[in-house]
Structure 1
Amino acid sequence: MGSCIICGKSVDGRICDLHEEDVVFEFRGNQPDQLTVDRYYRGTVDGYAEFGVFVDIGDSVTGLLHRSELDQRLESLEWDSGDTVFVQVKQVRDNGNVDLGWSIRQAEEEFRGTLVDDPEQGAPYLEEDESGNEDAAADDGSAADAPDASEESDSDDSDATEAESGDSDVTTRGDESDGTGESDATDDAPTTADAAATETPATATESDAGAGSGDGGAAAASGGGAAAVAEEEPDSEPDAEPTHVAVGTLADRVGETVRLEGVVESARQTSGPTVFEVRDETDSVECAAFKEAGVRAYPEIGADDVVRLDGEVRERRGELQVETEALVKLEGDERETVEDRLADALTEQAEPDAVDPLVADETVEALSEDVREVATAVRRAVLEERPVVVRHAATADGYVAGVALERATLPLVRDQHDQHDAVYHYFDRRPLEEGVYDMDDATKDATRMLEARERHDEKLPLFVFVAAGATSESLDGFELLDLYGAGRALVDDVAVDPEVDEAVDAAVAPDGTEARETTAATLSANVAAHVNDDVRADLQHLPAVSYWEDTPEAYAEAADEAGYDEAAVREVREAVALEAYYQSYEDKRELITDLLFGEGDGPGGLAGHVSEQFREKLDAEIETAEANLDTQTVEGTDIAVLDTDAFTHRYEFPPTALLLDELHRRHRDDVSAVIGVSDDELHIRSDRAIDVRDVADRAREWVPNAGLTATSARAGKLEYIAGERSAVLDTVIDVVADEVA
């Protein structure tokens, strides 16, 4: 049995099934069928073909990385023959052909470890275990326990001792969240054989109480370690407790033994020591704790634990590191004190400077404190290296609102992390089909965040909901996130229901009288300016893009100053609305960025080309719909009804909501409301403020068996059972006519 090089779990070999995709393998076989499907391998470019790239895996096996597997055009690859690349084995065919897949990680340090895959040796092993015995590095340390250090003259024994003590460079890497290699930490691990040869009895006792054994550390960190020494040596004086210092001052304390208090950002097992990254209110530092080679020290300590750590400050290869002598988890009042100190410092650091709104806007100015609170939450999540997930409606307003936050946050993520792909790990934008965050959406998000925590030690994310989530229909989804402690913030252009306001940590939304006089993108762009004022110029035109009509003059002027006249703003809005419909569950980050910020988007540009398709498709559908509008008059009130099942091209652009919006804009002078009805749902559009929940309650009295519910108060949507469609429609028309009269 050995230990997983990532999590320390006992396994047959050096990697557990859960983390096998997190390491890269060096192949030393000579037959394709010796490869393991789904593993990532290091290879070299052999040559190009019209349909892909040939990659040598090892010395005797070549596979094909088909162009369809690449994340970019084949012509844009800058690989030369002989370049090192990293690929995944997707399939080994019966004829010996090997199908390869693209790896987003194209540097060895981006993997969490490297193992040798040599079929003749059985299970994969670390490169320094050149004997091929995968148990060598996980051995009980018999070489290190040799009573006479002079026996190191045997070269094989010496190599084994070095591997076990962690003195040799290892191939295990840090996880993606910190991007640091583990070779530095491993170099600093004490060699057990050297310790046995040089320690005095008193020193050995101290080692047992500290990091040397990984046991008894709690007593040492709380002051009990010195008492334990005194118990064995009654005549000795107890050691003084180390001085508590801030991580940010460690550069001036190299060689000193210090005490740190903070939270564990990550804990990873190398082939030598266990490495804890500890953060306090000033900075973070890696702390190496050694029990024995490849064996987890302080297994009770994990990510997010609040700890007190004693150790010696050292400098290795230009980086500070603390050699752990004692480590204990803090609980109760001690934990709360440290957490409060970190929270206050982090909040102070995250709070943005005073930032003016993008333009003079009374609605935004009235919400200035809320805007700062949500911006602080986003900035703090970045500083905590916590992923930010933006959930927005799959509409033009939703996409623009989400991209405003994306534009502001990505530069901060790049500054915070060294990995080139950090912007994909620490920021995600996920559209919602409708403006409701239901249990289906919440379950998907919970599954993804828990998997990321389990596999990559990622922290639970901050979810920011824009143009979605303000109404009580989203409450169940928010409560699921709350059960796991994931952060929740909200930016919307409708009034927040009281129960939702209590379910989120921060919210920016107008009250009932101001709702619909602004857009979610307008509010989100102002939040984004507070998140990162450096991108203010990029945000100026976004509010204007989100208004389908009656754009406030100040925002129209701001867009014009940014180079977007009225025609350009319309083209961008229509182009985003069209692309929002296709693959509506995908963020389409690069495409939407090109539409909203691309250069040369005048006539014939990308936005102009896509908006032309928008108008053609919408006009054709409007023409058909208008020919089939059924206008009904109820007590002097005209209501237009469209059977969306019968008189629209279902599952084609435009979606029902956008089509009804346009019909309402074109016919508002002739009718008081437009209703779209299908087999089991109904949409209401009107200039009058209509509470669809009230409509559902009133109509339910007349059709009690229809299962009538308001499924989206912000989108004016009702649902019912198909068998009661006719009765529901007649009743809703009467209720709406009464509401708008």
Structure 2
Amino acid sequence: PDAARPLCERLPSKAPYYEMEDVTRDLNFALEGRARHGQKLPFLLMLDNGSTEEDVPAYENLTHYDIPIAVVDHHHPDPEAVEPLLDAHVNPYLHDEDYRITTGMMCVELARLIDPSITEELEHVPAVAGLSDRSKAEAMDDYVDLAAEAGYEKSDLLDIGEALDYAAHWLRYSEGKTLVNDALNVGCEDEARHEELVEFLAERAERDVDRQLAALDDHVEHERLASGAHLYRIDLDEYAHRFTYPAPGKTTGELHDTRVKETGDPVITIGYGPDFCVLRSDGVRLDIPNMVTELNEELPEAGVSGGGHLVVGSIKFVKGRRGAVIETLVEKMA
């Protein structure tokens, strides 16, 4: 495994699916490597992404060069759409499980299968992944206990998750391998540096989240749906700090968490911008991928796309039909 590591490239992606921009960048990178250095075209491993119909055009582009593709993901899949283009598809939904078995957990287990010698160094990583994704899987308690045996309290794991999220925001499309490894304490040669780095990044993340929530709190719209659930809406373009941390998805999630704690009732939160919205829900049965399908049928002129988990996701649409999309969404959730 060590000999192959220099040939492994980590290429971050921001979108909830594999966009043409991403595949064009990745394909160009691979073709340049072949032309300049005689490298073979790569095997593409998609992590925490790549299971839906929106990914198909990008995969079809890769088939022109016979690039093999495997996906490890825990988002709600469209297997009929993607599997003809994949060499392997690992997703808990395909085995009567769901998003609670997170991509991070599965990746650690796959890594251990490939190289068992790294097991000890990764004992805390599944717990970080699960807590960051708010997993309620039965295995979570075991993973947290395993991390505790390795010297990590639950608060440590949460701080590592926040530090990684903060670092990833500023890294954007850069790999950031050493920084990420130091924050995660995998392959980090200086324990003190890891602890100081996590403390610094986690504190900065908390500060910026608090500032964001303070800015938008007075502008949150609230209504009670017929189902009894609370619906909160916020115009992120007008009332949130832009082009900084936290991004719209994180901002909506943090606002949602505060309202869940305050009410103790079922809550839906919509954070929206000119041509997108982010959805979060607790205690409400939603099916966001299905809602996207229905929106396309009812508002074909709105250019709706997106998805995610059943109860957490993001949707894109054309700017001029934002009002119609949001109101139709609310009607479906009522």
2:36 to 455, 475, 479: 455
Task: Give the Cα–Cα distance (whole angstroms) in 1 for the partners of residues 72 and 135 of structure 2.
Answer: 21
2:286 to 674, 679, 690: 690
Q: Verify: 1:721 aligned to 2:305, yes or no.
A: no
Task: Give the Cα–Cα distance (whole angstroms) in 1 for the partners of residues 193 and 179 of structure 2.
Answer: 17
Q: Verify: 1:502 aligned to 2:84, yes or no.
A: yes
Hey, what does 2:213 align to over in structure 1?
Answer: 622
Task: Give the Cα–Cα distance (whole angstroms) in 1 for the partners of residues 330 and 191 of structure 2.
Answer: 48
Task: Give the Cα–Cα distance (whole angstroms) in 2 for the partners of residues 516 and 606 of structure 1.
Answer: 30
Alignment of 1:168-317 (within 5 A): none
Q: Verify: 1:730 aligned to 2:327, yes or no.
A: yes
Hey, what does 1:492 align to over in structure 2?
Answer: 73
> CA separation of 1:596/1:682 partners in 2, compared to 1, >3 Å: closer, same or farther?
same
Task: Give the Cα–Cα distance (whole angstroms) in 1 for the partners of residues 285 and 32 of structure 2.
Answer: 43
> CA separation of 1:700/1:530 partners in 2, compared to 1, >3 Å: closer, same or farther?
closer
> CA separation of 1:667/1:633 partners in 2, compared to 1, >3 Å: closer, same or farther?
same
Normalization by structure 1: what TM-score? Answer: 0.41
Q: Tell me the secondary structure at the aligned position of residue 119 of structure 2.
A: helix
> CA separation of 1:440/1:514 partners in 2, compared to 1, >3 Å: closer, same or farther?
same
Q: Verify: 1:443 aligned to 2:24, yes or no.
A: yes
Hey, what does 1:399 align to over in structure 2?
Answer: none
State whether residues 640 and 671 of structure 1, in contact with CA within 8 Å, keep that contact through their aligned partners in structure 2. Answer: no
> CA separation of 1:439/1:609 partners in 2, compared to 1, >3 Å: closer, same or farther?
same
- Report sequence identity in percent: 26
Task: Give the Cα–Cα distance (whole angstroms) in 2 for the partners of residues 723 and 457 of structure 1.
Answer: 48
Alignment of 1:50-61 (within 5 A): none
Task: Give the Cα–Cα distance (whole angstroms) in 2 for the partners of residues 434 and 457 of structure 1.
Answer: 31
Hey, what does 1:532 align to over in structure 2?
Answer: 115
Q: Verify: 1:432 aligned to 2:28, yes or no.
A: no
Point out where structure 1 has 5 or more consecutive residues left out of the alignment.
Answer: 1-408, 414-422
Hey, what does 1:181 align to over in structure 2?
Answer: none
> CA separation of 1:441/1:459 partners in 2, compared to 1, >3 Å: closer, same or farther?
same
State whether residues 601 and 608 of structure 1, in contact with CA within 8 Å, keep that contact through their aligned partners in structure 2. Answer: no
Hey, what does 1:27 align to over in structure 2?
Answer: none
Cα distance per residue 1:69-91 (max 9 Å; x no partner): xxxxxxxxxxxxxxxxxxxxxxx
Q: Tell me the secondary structure at the aligned position of residue 705 of structure 1.
A: helix
Hey, what does 2:225 align to over in structure 1?
Answer: 634
Q: Verify: 1:673 aligned to 2:268, yes or no.
A: yes
Q: Tell me the secondary structure at the aligned position of residue 626 of structure 1.
A: helix
Hey, what does 2:253 align to over in structure 1?
Answer: 661
Q: Tell me the secondary structure at the aligned position of residue 465 of structure 1.
A: strand
State whether residues 182 and 194 of structure 2, in contact with CA within 8 Å, keep that contact through their aligned partners in structure 1. Answer: no
Cα distance per residue 1:90-132 (max 9 Å; x no partner): xxxxxxxxxxxxxxxxxxxxxxxxxxxxxxxxxxxxxxxxxxx
What is the CA-CA distance between 1:617 and the residue it aligns to?
A: 0.8
Cα distance per residue 1:503-556 (max 9 Å; x no partner): 111122101752221211001100000111010111110011111346611011
1:562 to 150, 173, 180: 150
Hey, what does 2:240 align to over in structure 1?
Answer: 648
What is the CA-CA distance between 1:700 and the residue it aligns to?
A: 4.7
Task: Give the Cα–Cα distance (whole angstroms) in 2 for the partners of residues 496 and 468 of structure 1.
Answer: 10
Give me the CA root mean square deviation. Answer: 2.1
What is the CA-CA distance between 1:732 and the residue it aligns to?
A: 1.3
State whether residues 229 and 265 of structure 2, in contact with CA within 8 Å, keep that contact through their aligned partners in structure 1. Answer: no
Give the residue type in structure 2 aligned to 1:430. Answer: L
What is the CA-CA distance between 1:694 and the residue it aligns to?
A: 2.6
Which fold has the larger relative contact order, with Cα–Cα distance below 8 Å and residues 6 or more apart in sequence? 2
Give the residue type in structure 1 aligned to 2:51. Answer: A
Task: Give the Cα–Cα distance (whole angstroms) in 2 for the partners of residues 623 and 545 of structure 1.
Answer: 28
> CA separation of 1:445/1:567 partners in 2, compared to 1, >3 Å: closer, same or farther?
same
Q: Tell me the secondary structure at the aligned position of residue 711 of structure 1.
A: strand
State whether residues 306 and 314 of structure 2, in contact with CA within 8 Å, keep that contact through their aligned partners in structure 1. Answer: yes
> CA separation of 1:603/1:720 partners in 2, compared to 1, >3 Å: closer, same or farther?
closer
> CA separation of 1:455/1:612 partners in 2, compared to 1, >3 Å: closer, same or farther?
same
Q: Tell me the secondary structure at the aligned position of residue 64 of structure 2.
A: helix
> CA separation of 1:639/1:537 partners in 2, compared to 1, >3 Å: closer, same or farther?
same
What is the CA-CA distance between 1:659 and the residue it aligns to?
A: 1.6
What is the CA-CA distance between 1:704 and the residue it aligns to?
A: 4.4
Residue range with higher mean Cα deviation, 572-581 or 440-449: 440-449
State whether residues 75 and 308 of structure 2, in contact with CA within 8 Å, keep that contact through their aligned partners in structure 1. Answer: no
1:607 to 186, 191, 198: 198
Task: Give the Cα–Cα distance (whole angstroms) in 1 for the partners of residues 67 and 195 of structure 2.
Answer: 44
What is the CA-CA distance between 1:624 and the residue it aligns to?
A: 2.6
Task: Give the Cα–Cα distance (whole angstroms) in 1 for the partners of residues 192 and 265 of structure 2.
Answer: 37
Task: Give the Cα–Cα distance (whole angstroms) in 2 for the partners of residues 534 and 724 of structure 1.
Answer: 54
Higher percent of residues as strand: 1
Hey, what does 1:338 align to over in structure 2?
Answer: none
Q: Tell me the secondary structure at the aligned position of residue 659 of structure 1.
A: helix
What is the CA-CA distance between 1:602 and the residue it aligns to?
A: 8.7
Hey, what does 1:477 align to over in structure 2?
Answer: 58
Point out where structure 2 has 5 or more consecutive residues left out of the alignment.
Answer: none
Task: Give the Cα–Cα distance (whole angstroms) in 2 for the partners of residues 601 and 675 of structure 1.
Answer: 40
State whether residues 435 and 468 of structure 1, in contact with CA within 8 Å, keep that contact through their aligned partners in structure 2. Answer: yes
Q: Verify: 1:511 aligned to 2:103, yes or no.
A: no
> CA separation of 1:509/1:697 partners in 2, compared to 1, >3 Å: closer, same or farther?
closer
Give the residue type in structure 2 aligned to 1:678. Answer: G
What is the CA-CA distance between 1:459 and the residue it aligns to?
A: 0.5
State whether residues 501 and 507 of structure 1, in contact with CA within 8 Å, keep that contact through their aligned partners in structure 2. Answer: yes
Q: Tell me the secondary structure at the aligned position of residue 11 of structure 2.
A: strand
Q: Tell me the secondary structure at the aligned position of residue 237 of structure 2.
A: coil
State whether residues 76 and 308 of structure 2, in contact with CA within 8 Å, keep that contact through their aligned partners in structure 1. Answer: no
Q: Tell me the secondary structure at the aligned position of residue 99 of structure 2.
A: coil
Cα distance per residue 1:605-650 (max 9 Å; x no partner): 1111111111111122123333322112232442111111111101
Cα distance per residue 1:224-262 (max 9 Å; x no partner): xxxxxxxxxxxxxxxxxxxxxxxxxxxxxxxxxxxxxxx
Alignment of 1:32-111 (within 5 A): none
State whether residues 16 and 308 of structure 2, in contact with CA within 8 Å, keep that contact through their aligned partners in structure 1. Answer: no
Cα distance per residue 1:195-247 (max 9 Å; x no partner): xxxxxxxxxxxxxxxxxxxxxxxxxxxxxxxxxxxxxxxxxxxxxxxxxxxxx
**Equivalenced residues, count:** 317
What is the CA-CA distance between 1:601 and the residue it aligns to?
A: 4.7
